[in-house]
Structure 1
């Protein structure tokens, strides 16, 4: 089913005056006289130097605190409303399944062994995975989105780009703020902060905190619970010390928690066969809500006692030292971070208890120490920078997927279904499927256990990984003339990873079936479901492996200042994302498992870019453009095929296109902004291997990923367009009116990792807005706000219903029996915010 829930582009143009704006972020400074407003120059650290967006030969969007507040950005997900090249989704868990993409490129799935292609830095400290940063941001000074590989200065895992977040630091003037919001779904968000001096001009402190709670928008029609809720908080404390004019120290401690029920999936394409099976078994066991309803009624079916509890706890400590020496500016950032998550899960997403993760059945923990040192100085026409980086990361990952109480009956009925076994409750009867009588005889004779007891399956999958990353880097800007700058950067990286694996399963039925199939007593296809990788004892192993990789990456760019208002640039960059270990039992070979089979290779990208940046003399108009082409080799893919997650290196993927960003102050009080990204993102067409084989008479389903070669990557829109309009006008005596609208159009995408047509999502236009009034100096404000004001329904990620239909890869199941599930995006939300500061 193609989910059609969007307006056409023509209707977008008629819906809002956003078309008058064209492309990107905007911030403007209010002047005392109407018409004196100018565009604010937001600082970027894209080159690890303090420069403006217009001065760097890099495609970067930078958003200041005021613009972020107007757009309602409180976490990374909100940033997509105003950053057109950024696309962020989450699937089965927000603590393990979030994916960020830039220009259509990202790392799919929730496998902890794969690192993100879009790196996230907060106050200069790398966050291990995208989901580690999906919490409240607190008080933010600015956010930068750098597009294209950024590995020269920011290190590993920025092959598609990065997001850099800079929080507000302590001040030497006493100040504070507080805000409270209330919205539908009983949403309550409270934020507050306090900053001021402890020792005049020598020591200052700051503390910020956020608490956010909201009911879920998915109702369980079996248990009555609601899912996809919010319950999280953040606290951040800082000290800023300036013992001398040459030395500044910034110490940051943060702690955050999440205790939420997420993420439930709905059925977008039901199967009459699966519905009938659920109905038959439901009548037998007293459950069995059928999924045949509109998915956007936002109702799911979950078996009693199995939910989607997810908890996460994170804390970190960092110290940044900036020291002005006689040869240059020395910066040191020392950090330690700990992140841990737990979650339970109804694996099959049905009201039958087929498979589950118990409470704390899925546990991840990261402990990371990092140290970076940079020295930056100037020698004549040369602005030079050298640095070193070290990170030591320990990752612990435990998982256990087990049989539910209905699995035995489900498996029995699935076998009976083959070719119409009499009395199965689903068909009128017919000749038994070949092999059925042989299987029945073995079961009745006691040769094969008749049941899959509840709680059997995986006893424990345990993976322990250590990663050590060393790097030396340099980035230099040389003024060839008054109008031409040459930038050259180079980075040498060495990474060592070790993994210890222990996989233990309790599933005697699988072993008996495999033995019977091996003797020819039954067809081998009957082992598919009971011996699925989820719980196959043929994958049991205990062992270790290690790998080492070295990589040289870099960049070269020419920046030409054409006039005082216009500059152009051209650049080449090589990026890199580390290889590693697939921390999933399915990565090994059944019957001959070995941890060495878990390895996958590093991903490398070569990227070319041409850009132009224009700013009018009156500082009321900015237009920036970029043409880009990025060629990825050994692209890392993590995809679900119905019974397991598969990790492979694909020979080639590429993305190319154009970006335009603009900011404009056409008249007093009005600011317009927007962004456009056209990105054609495709897999290569020359893939070899059985998983890419197209359907054939002998293989009617084809390989699991036969649709990938030559087609568009998952969740990679061809067009992304953002726009905003802000009206800020003084009213009365010392008051100000605010009216803000922002919108985003995203063209059609395929949300499935295997690109099944049923997983397509048509183009979507989302409109957000707020209207408010307050004192002109910002001392207090009252705002009404709404997100997804047009209440558009759309899916984030679609997938094969686990263990249902052709996803089992069994010859006994026809392709048209497959159930398709999806994770929905948020519906319309709205509320009121009261804000004050001093």
Structure 2
């Protein structure tokens, strides 16, 4: 292996060995109450007494009749989680992939994929109650977080927009009435990265509190490029968040939050997974020979260069949120949440992934969204009610420039502008009643009225085989979502429940498709989900153990999909899809200083009816293949993790902490063509942490290792256009070992 990364990796194997010996999914520590944002507070591993707001009401995990996973901010910090996709390793049936700055989220095998740049996710993402319509905004969410709630299954009635596969809710740490702060810094020794972050929180006056959070750093590049002698896909990042909490009187508060984030990736993380034997493939081999040859299978090495310069992905986000809570008397509470978000993104990708300048893609995006929600909550006897109204508006301008440099027939840029406006309004109602001691029913309903209008273009000047087009279109949809649950708490430490829920996501338009002028297929229909779930939740006396079990079956009609056909991504609807499976989560604390546990998920997610892309290496006279019975993309059959954690006193004020995890992901397909080159084999990763804490003085030193076995995996796979038989993948990060120190005050 060559390059600076390789020398550093060799030096760090010795440091990684003790972490490997301890590894046995991280114990996701949880806050004992929703209001506790002090990272100095005592933390416990996964426990059913943690308070969540997944049902719009504060409930413990033991009481909420849903399949919910919660990760505290303290646990995120201890395991060095700064990227959103690192969440998935300890949460059953959650798949998060990052591809060129965008995130693709699948839950229980269901999601929208990343092929259409205008796709909204089927798993809704919320930060402090504000829905984020573009996945790029996920890059700045993991700073000074109180907790993350992952709610599996359709949540359309409660959460609203685009949650037909599930919802992820990030709750950031709020201003406090007492003065507190924290600073931390870390050095990542394998890829030469660093990070620094901190916060200050406390009162300004008797009625006004503030919190300032800052995060910055550099994630070192982990893909050594032999052509440029650089480490590609490094990221410089910065996040700043300021909050003011105004409490003029008891029962009234207003919180203003302003947040800015920036991510700047330099170089791409593309690698080949088979190059093929075409004439162009042989040309790439010849051009790569002076650099030691082209790596034809995924590794942390690439050989790529382009006259358009080094690839990059830059994203800037600006968000403003205003949340108010007012006690109207008589047990009635008024909550309002207003949000503004602006995203600016530019991405350049060397698609051919070679020293030649054959295909380059420049993607430009500007998106602005505004949302407002108001809801009333209260009780009438044993009946609890929530009624609300949600408004959402978004405007996007996306331009894709594809630079072709093959033959004269395949030369010149394809310029594809896409403009869309989306507006929706949705009233909702939720009710909860205890019929008998321990026996409770829940119900909710939401009506959504959504309008979208778009202009899709491909300007003249590209390859002759791509017909220019200019299409204007409008959609108007009215959708209903509802849910019902019945739960029985047979003891103070046990509950069973059964639920039925529906969810929907509106239709939309195809963005930046070079083939649209030939196919004329420029829009797709709404998708709808219907899901049954049953579960049991148990907790031992004094929290000795926790056990959660859920079984589910979800049917999707018109699942929105995007599959690569060899030239471009084709967007449409899969007529019928079924996802069913089992999720088990548990942990045991036999003694005060030791805990261990894990989770396992089995998933059977298949197409029931879908005329999709032509299957790899099969004749396709009709231009499509019947994919009924085939597994969905990003839906591994098995996924499990196991962890062990030790928190033991050393002497005086010193405590020793160690935790390790083993995370397994089964065979995962990334394209419906069933091409073996787009199927990622099953793999296992190992993470670990060793630290010493001084509680009296508030400091902590630790070594954190992620992917300690340096396993190669990827987050997307596609055929390289016009390079017959070649497949490219986006490679996930390599091993990291971080030395970090923190101080609370």
| Fold conserved between structures, TM > 0.5 | yes
Post-superposition offset of 1:40: 7.4
Tell me how far 1:793 sits from its aligned partner: 2.0
Corresponding residue SS for 1:403: strand
Offset at residue 451 of structure 1 (A): 6.5
- Alignment-derived partner of residue 75 in structure 1: 83
Aligned pairs for 1:371-382 (under 5 A) are 371-382=372-383
Residue 413 of structure 2 corresponds to which residue in structure 1? Answer: 457
Q: Which residue of 1 aligns with 2:610?
A: 687
Structure 1 runs not aligned, ≥5 long:
1-14, 409-449, 511-530, 806-817
1:105 to 110, 121, 145: 110
| Cα gap change, 1:282 to 1:747, in 2 (>3 Å) | closer
User: Which residue of the partner structure matches residue 480 of structure 2?
Assistant: 552
Distance 1:334 1:237, change over 3 A: same
Deviation at 1:756, TM superposition (A): 1.0
Cα pair 1:24 1:675 within 8 Å, conserved: no
Equivalent position of 1:5 in the other structure: none
Change (3 A) 1:165 1:714: same
Which deviates more from structure 2 when the two are superposed, residues 488-497 or residues 338-347? 338-347
SS of alignment partner, residue 296 of structure 1: coil
Kept after mapping to 1: 8 A contact 2:176/2:210: yes
Question: Equivalents in 2 of 1:501, 1:36: separation in Å?
Answer: 52
Q: What SS class does the counterpart of residue 152 from structure 1 fall into?
A: helix
Tell me, yes or no, if the aligned pair for 1:24 and 1:676 is still in contact at 8 Å: no
- Identify if the C-alpha distance between structure 1 residues 288 and 504 changes in structure 2 by more than 3 Å, giving closer, same or farther: farther
SS of the equivalent of 2:625 reads coil
Q: Cα offset for 1:50?
A: 1.0
Measure, in 2, the Cα distance between the counterparts of 1:280 and 1:63. 46
Q: Secondary structure at the match of 2:299?
A: helix
Query: 1:149 pairs with 135, 154, 162, which one?
Result: 154
Q: 1:556 and 1:778 mapped to 2: Cα distance?
A: 50
| Equivalent position to 1:833, from 734, 740, 745 | 740
- Equivalent residue of 1:131, what SS? helix
- 1:106-164 CA-to-partner distances (Å, cap 9, x unmatched) read 22114232110111111111111333212352111111100001111111111111111
Equivalent residue, structure 2, for 1:489: 444
What is the match of residue 120 of structure 1? Answer: 125
Q: Matches of residues 332-351 of structure 1 in structure 2 within 5 Å? A: 332-351=336-355
Counterpart of 2:64?
56
| Residues 1:632 and 1:346: Cα distance change in structure 2 (over 3 Å) | same
Question: 8 Å contact 1:229–1:262 — kept in the other structure?
Answer: yes
614 and 451 in structure 1: CA distance in 2 versus 1, 3 angstrom threshold: closer
Any residues of structure 2 matched to 1:200-279 within 5 Å, and which?
200=206, 202-274=207-279, 277-278=282-283
**Equivalent in 642, 645, 648 of residue 572 of structure 2:** 648
Match of 1:721 among 640, 651, 656: 640
Q: Distance in 2 between matches of 1:391 and 1:476?
A: 24
Distance in 2 between residues matched to 1:281 and 1:39, nearest whole Å: 58
1:181 aligns with 2:202: no
Deviation, structure 1 residue 587 = 5.8
Pick closer, same or farther for the CA change 1:400–1:60 going to 2, 3 Å: same
Residue 384 of structure 2 corresponds to 383
How many residues are aligned here? Answer: 717
**Structure 1 residues 355 and 695, CA, compared in 2 at 3 Å: closer, same or farther?**
closer
Instruction: Please list the CA deviations of residues 42-74 of structure 1 after superposition, one character each: whole Å capped at 9, or x if unmatched.
Output: 211111111111111110011223332333322
Q: 3-state DSSP class of the match of 1:714?
A: coil
The superposition leaves residues 766-808 of structure 1 with CA deviations (integer Å, 9 ceiling, x where unpaired) of: 1101111121247101101110112222233222122111xxx
Alignment check: 8 A CA contact 1:624 1:661 kept: yes
Q: Is the alpha carbon distance of 1:233 and 1:729 closer, same or farther for their aligned partners in structure 2, counting shifts above 3 Å?
A: same
2:506 counterpart of 1:502: no
Tell me how far apart the structure 1 counterparts of residues 583 and 227 of structure 2 sit (CA, whole Å).
47
Shift of 1:263: 2.9
Identify the residue that residue 357 of structure 2 maps to in structure 1: 353
2:30–2:45: 8 Å Cα contact kept in structure 1? no
2:726 to 812, 815, 819: 819
> Does structure 1 conserve the Cα–Cα contact (< 8 Å) formed by 2:128 and 2:170?
yes
- Shift of residue 297, structure 1, vs aligned partner: 4.6
Give the direction of change, closer, same or farther, for the CA distance of 1:346–1:495 in structure 2 (3 Å limit). same
Whose strand fraction is larger, Structure 1's or Structure 2's?
A: 2
In structure 1, the residue matched to 2:17 is none
CA distance in 2, matches of 1:158, 1:630: 13
Contact 2:295 2:302 (C-alpha < 8 Å) held by counterparts: no
Quickly say closer, same or farther: Cα 1:778–1:75, change in 2 above 3 A: farther
Structure 1 position 613 matched with structure 2 position 537? yes
Task: Please say which of residues 233-242 and 785-794 is displaced more in the overlay.
Answer: 785-794
User: The residue matched to 1:295 in structure 2 has which SS?
Assistant: coil
CA RMSD of aligned residues (A): 2.7
- Taking structure 1 as the reference length, the TM-score comes to 0.81
**Match for residue 314 of structure 1 among 314, 317, 331:** 317
Contact 2:661 2:687 in 1 (8 A): yes
Residue 523 of structure 1 is matched in structure 2 by none
Corresponding residue for residue 428 of structure 1: none
Change (3 A) 1:103 1:25: farther
For 2:667 and 2:399, the matched residues in 1 are separated by 36
* Counterparts of 1:503 and 1:149, CA distance in 2: 36
Is the CA contact 2:587–2:597 (under 8 Å) kept in the aligned structure 1? Answer: yes
- Aligned to 2:137, the other structure's residue is in SS state helix
SS at match of 1:827: coil
> Given the superposition, is the C-alpha separation of residues 613 and 269 from structure 1 closer, same or farther in structure 2, using an over 3 Å criterion?
same
**Cα distance 1:578–1:272, how it changes in 2: closer, same or farther (>3 A)?**
same
Contact 1:801–1:821 (CA<8 Å) still a contact in 2? yes
Correspondence for 2:435 = 480
1:657-697 CA-partner distances (Å, limit 9, x unpaired): 1111113211121122311111111111x4347x458976x
Q: Distance in 2 between matches of 1:719 and 1:367?
A: 38
Q: Map residues 509-658 of structure 1 onto 2, 5 A cutoff.
A: 510=464, 531=465, 536=466, 538=467, 540-586=468-514, 588-590=516-518, 597-658=521-582
Checking the alignment, whether the CA contact within 8 Å between 1:270 and 1:292 is kept in structure 2 is: no
CA contact (8 A) 1:77 1:88 kept: yes
List runs of 5+ in structure 2 lacking aligned partners: 1-19, 33-37
Partner Cα distance (2:344, 2:120) in 1: 16
Note if contact 1:39-1:620 (Cα within 8 Å) is conserved in structure 2: no
Residue 667 of structure 1 is matched in structure 2 by 591
- 1:39 and 1:633, CA in 2 relative to 1: closer, same or farther beyond 3 A? closer
TM-score w.r.t. length of structure 2: 0.91
Q: Aligned partners of 1:28, 1:18: CA distance in 2, in Å?
A: 24
Tell me how far 1:35 sits from its aligned partner.
14
In 2, Cα distance between equivalents of 1:673 and 1:303: 48
Per-residue CA shift, 1:473-518, capped at 9, x if unaligned?
Answer: 01110111112101010000010001123321214x72xxxxxxxx
1:273-316 per-residue CA deviation (whole Å, 9 max, x = no partner) reads: 34664169749xx9898425553252232334443211111001
Q: 1:39 to 1:355 in 2, by over 3 A?
A: closer
**Over residues 159-218 of structure 1, what are the superposed CA-to-partner deviations in whole Å (9 max), with x where a residue is unaligned?**
111111111101111111100000121110000111111002x11000001002022111
Q: Tell whether the 8 Å contact from 1:693 to 1:703 is kept in structure 2 after alignment.
A: no
